[in-house]
Amino acid sequence: MSVGKESRDGFASRFGIVCAAAGSAIGLGNIWRFPYVVGESGGGAFLLIYLGFVLLLGIPVMLSEFVIGRNAKRNAFGAFKKIAPRTLWPVVGIIGIVAAFVILAFYSTIAGWTLHYVYLSVVNGFKGADALTVTEIFVSFQTSGAFPVFWQIIFILLTAIIIISGVKKGIEKYSKILMPFLVLLLISLCIRSLTLPGSVGGLTFLFNPDFSKISSTVVLSALGQAFFSLSIGMGALITYASYFPDRTNLPVTSFQVSLADVIIAIMAGVAIFPAMFALGMLPEEGGPGLIFMVLPNVFQQMPGGYVVSIAFFVLLSIAALTSSISIMEVVVAFLTEEFGIKRPGATIITVVAAAFVGIFCTLSWSTFEHVSLGNRNIFDVLDFTASNVLLPLGGLLIVVFVGWYMKQSQVKDEMTNMGILKLMVFMIGYYTRDTRTDEDYTRIRVLKLKMFEVFLFIIRFLAPIAIAIIFLNGIGLIKSL
Ligand code: PFF
């Protein structure tokens, strides 16, 4: 399939669009990264700040990406080039492409671990193991060198296969069917975790905010987690929105995707922390291996744990795939549209480059365990650079672009689908559907206007200033001034 400039591929159904965008957002970021970052950052207070960031900064950045992507109908770089020709704005697209490489490198490390856990579940590798043994099994795998690299390559290849088969046949089909199953499994994990003896401490840790744990670094990491988890700040959603049809309701889609993303993250938290407390583990100790050291214990104490364990790691691998395809698509769409390279060729180039960086990352705990910057190994450096530096920077530039560079009328047209969309009907119109009066319609219009103005205020002032302060403060620049 060729995705050239004239005949662009696209998403077929409304449900498919939400699922594909949600499929990008929901992934290892929610289930693997969220719990361990919450654990390192002190629990409840971090969660509150994170939720605030999703609402006030995340949703507006996501909506801005949708506006750019659907308006330009181009890849992340090409979109800026089309809307702002002969300016420096396309550099934002380049930042996104660099971020995509970096994320792909460390994302595939963790996705590889997940695939290995499918295998371990199938061969019943944790049978009879106590908590200590489960940890030992993980650490010996993590530090074993060749095995994690093998699984990482398998994962990158799986991503490439879906990417080569194109948007409609690949991305949409896979995301649509499988996500609901993951939600069901998570619910059952939450129930089991909550009913383990000694689990209450986990809930307190997650939901009872202790603000003494908050520092500028923690605030930056909440921002990074919000951006990473929502897939924003690097053009993945610009690229996806470029395939959206004109009738897609962008504000509602951004709201739905963010809501789904947050719910899944919190569910992952409820599945992990009560179990950790029940096992006597400390939340800040897990690091990137947290879920791999906790969950096998939970599965062992569940009826049907053998099957649940296989199903969980299979579905988590698929959630990781629906995210990694959105990351790889940023690079592939860029190469096909800007350089005229065919889709398979572009995918191969991306795979080779990503695997090269990715292998160094996977070997962070073995061959390259002594390579570090400060107290961070290669993996941590890449994760920090992408999540806490490149994504916030990209997000900041994206909102400034939509808020200050694009014409207001153009932005408004995208948000209201040329004025035909009754945005607020979705929220206030439910009860008045058949009995709406002229007065209701006036109210709807007023609300619609207000919502656009609130959005404009956020992307012009609040978001850029907030992101800049959080970032400069988080890397210690404000203090040293
Ligand atoms: N949001 C994905 C997750 O939570 O796993 C990761 C991700 C996808 C980050 C796409 C960034 C991106 F552009």
The per-residue pLDDT for range 396-416, each reduced to its tens digit, is: 999 999 999 999 999 999 988
**Burial bucket for residue 193 (CB in 10 Å: 0-12, 13-18, 19+):** buried
Mean pLDDT over residues 41-67, rounded?
A: 97
* Atom number, ligand 1, closest to the C-alpha of residue 100: 13
What pLDDT does 441 receive? 62
pLDDT exceeds cutoff 60 at 171: no
Type of residue at 137: I
What pLDDT does 425 receive? 46
* Atom number, ligand 1, closest to the C-alpha of residue 29: 4
What pLDDT does 4 receive? 40
Mean pLDDT over residues 123-152, rounded?
A: 95
What pLDDT does 245 receive? 87
Mean pLDDT over residues 427-444, rounded?
A: 56
Beta bridge partners of 373: 376
What pLDDT does 130 receive? 93
Q: How far apart are alpha carbons 202 and 80 in whole angstroms?
A: 45
CA–centroid distance, 260 to ligand 1, in Å, is 14
Confidence of residue 424 (pLDDT cuts 50, 70, 90): very low
What pLDDT does 434 receive? 53
Mean pLDDT over residues 175-199, rounded?
A: 86
| 20-34, 286-300, 352-366, 426-440: least confidently modelled range | 426-440
**Burial bucket for residue 145 (CB in 10 Å: 0-12, 13-18, 19+):** middle
Mean pLDDT over residues 40-54, rounded?
A: 96
What pLDDT does 440 receive? 64
Q: What is the residue with the minimal CA distance to atom 11 of ligand 1?
A: 231
For the stretch 1-26, pLDDT in tens is: 334 444 566 666 667 777 788 989 99
| 131-135, 277-281, 350-354: least confidently modelled range | 277-281
Q: How far apart are alpha carbons 418 and 411 in whole angstroms?
A: 10
Could you tell me the sign of the dihedral formed by the alpha carbons of 269, 272, 275, 279, in that order? negative
Which element (helix H / strand E) includes 397?
Answer: helix 391-400
Beta bridge partners of 377: 372
CA–centroid distance, 198 to ligand 1, in Å, is 33
Q: How far apart are alpha carbons 348 and 345 in whole angstroms?
A: 5
Residue 389 near residue 453, CB atoms below 8 Å? no
> Which tokens belong to 177?
């069917």
pLDDT exceeds cutoff 80 at 271: yes
For the stretch 288-311, pLDDT in tens is: 999 999 999 999 988 889 999 999
What pLDDT does 431 receive? 44
CA–centroid distance, 326 to ligand 1, in Å, is 8
Mean pLDDT over residues 189-204, rounded?
A: 94
**Burial bucket for residue 376 (CB in 10 Å: 0-12, 13-18, 19+):** middle
Ligand 1 pocket (Cβ < 6 Å) reads: 24-25, 27-30, 103, 228-229, 231, 234, 236, 323, 326-327
Mean pLDDT over residues 94-122, rounded?
A: 97
For the stretch 219-247, pLDDT in tens is: 999 999 999 999 999 999 999 999 888 88
CA–centroid distance, 23 to ligand 1, in Å, is 9
Q: What is the residue with the minimal CA distance to atom 7 of ligand 1?
A: 231
Give the contacts of 180 (CB within 8 A, at least 6 positions apart). Answer: none
Q: How far apart are alpha carbons 28 and 34 in whole angstroms?
A: 8
What pLDDT does 214 receive? 93
Domains of the chain as residue ranges with CATH: 14-376 (1.10.4160.10)
Residue 243 near residue 167, CB atoms below 8 Å? yes
SS (HEC) of 13-39: CHHHHHHHHHHHHCCHHHHHHHHHHHH
Residue 318 near residue 178, CB atoms below 8 Å? yes
Residue 317 near residue 178, CB atoms below 8 Å? no
pLDDT exceeds cutoff 70 at 428: no
Could you tell me the sign of the dihedral formed by the alpha carbons of 78, 79, 84, 90, in that order? negative
Find the helix packing angle between 14-25 and 250-279, rounded to 10°.
40
Q: How far apart are alpha carbons 304 and 40 in whole angstroms?
A: 32
pLDDT exceeds cutoff 60 at 430: no
The percent of residues in the chain predicted with pLDDT above 90, rounded, is 73
Confidence of residue 334 (pLDDT cuts 50, 70, 90): very high
Type of residue at 412: K
Q: How far apart are alpha carbons 277 and 193 in whole angstroms?
A: 10
Look at residues 16, 19, 25 and name the one whose alpha carbon lies nearest to residue 324: 25
* Atom number, ligand 1, closest to the C-alpha of residue 330: 13
Q: How far apart are alpha carbons 395 and 148 in whole angstroms?
A: 32
What pLDDT does 446 receive? 59
Look at residues 54, 108, 466, 99 and name the one whose alpha carbon lies nearest to residue 230: 54
Q: What is the residue with the minimal CA distance to atom 10 of ligand 1?
A: 231
**Burial bucket for residue 295 (CB in 10 Å: 0-12, 13-18, 19+):** buried
Phi, psi of 231 (to 5 degrees): 60, 35
> For all residues of the chain together, what is the average pLDDT?
89
Which element (helix H / strand E) includes 46?
Answer: helix 44-53
pLDDT exceeds cutoff 70 at 78: yes
What pLDDT does 5 receive? 41
CA–centroid distance, 97 to ligand 1, in Å, is 13
